[in-house]
């Protein structure tokens, strides 16, 4: 895996997207024209940070998910399903992220009817959370099918339907986006 490098903008890019695309093209996309929505979300996240920020380093992983990560994801407008078992039964993801709650409900109906791959197919991304300030490349102490958190999210993406193309790995402080394409 390539190391993240500092870019000229407010992001670190590990070649998931071209620098030119991020610097020159994203701003021209119709979907990028959301200044009012983005400002409102930023204000809500800042308010939440002012309430929770000092406490976040003391939370265990579950507390961090409940009080910070899930709240941020909700503010950003995603529907979520918690602790969803992978279609092959080889583990579970902390959250499945959906475009909105209507899409989440469509996926839940599929899962209810026994189509667990259909649930994952409706998702926009999987989210794996770690404790605050976690080192995503630190080897896990116990034996697992993946060596570290960064490998874990890739491992999970390999075990989901091919139309689910994104994974998010976060400790609440760092948010990494993983894609299924090299």
- Encode pLDDT of 129-171 as tens digits: 999 999 999 998 888 888 899 999 999 999 999 889 999 999 9
| pLDDT band at residue 36 under the 50/70/90 scheme | confident
pTM for the predicted model, two decimal places: 0.81
What is the residue-wise DSSP string for the chain?
-PPPEE-SSSSEE-SSS-HHIIIIIGGGSGGG--HHHHHHHHHHHHHHHHHHTTTGGG--HHHHIIIIIHHHHHHTT-EEEEEEEPTTSS-EEEEEEESSHHHHHHHHHHHHTT-HHHHHHH-SEEEEE--TT--TTSPPSS--SSSSHHHHHHHHHHTS-TT--EEEEE-SS-EEEEES--
User: Higher confidence at residue 150 or residue 3?
Assistant: 150
């Amino acid at each position: 895996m390539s190391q993240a490098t500092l870019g000229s903008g407010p992001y670190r890019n590990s070649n998931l997207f071209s620098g030119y695309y991020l610097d020159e093209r994203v701003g021209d996309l119709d979907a990028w024209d959301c200044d009012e929505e983005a400002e409102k979300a930023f204000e809500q996240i800042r308010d939440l940070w002012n309430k929770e920020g000092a406490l976040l380093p003391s939370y265990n992983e579950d507390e961090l998910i409940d009080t910070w990560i899930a709240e941020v994801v909700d503010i950003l407008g995603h529907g979520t399903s918690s602790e969803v078992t992978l279609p092959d039964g080889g583990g579970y993801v902390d959250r499945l992220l959906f475009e909105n709650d209507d899409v989440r409900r469509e996926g839940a109906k599929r899962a209810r009817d026994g189509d667990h791959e259909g649930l994952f197919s409706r998702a926009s991304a999987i989210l794996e959370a770690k404790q605050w300030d976690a080192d995503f490349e630190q080897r896990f102490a116990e034996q697992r099918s993946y060596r570290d958190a960064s490998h874990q999210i890739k491992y999970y993406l390999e075990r989901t339907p091919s139309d689910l193309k994104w994974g998010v790995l976060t400790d609440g402080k760092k948010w990494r986006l993983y894609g299924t394409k090299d």
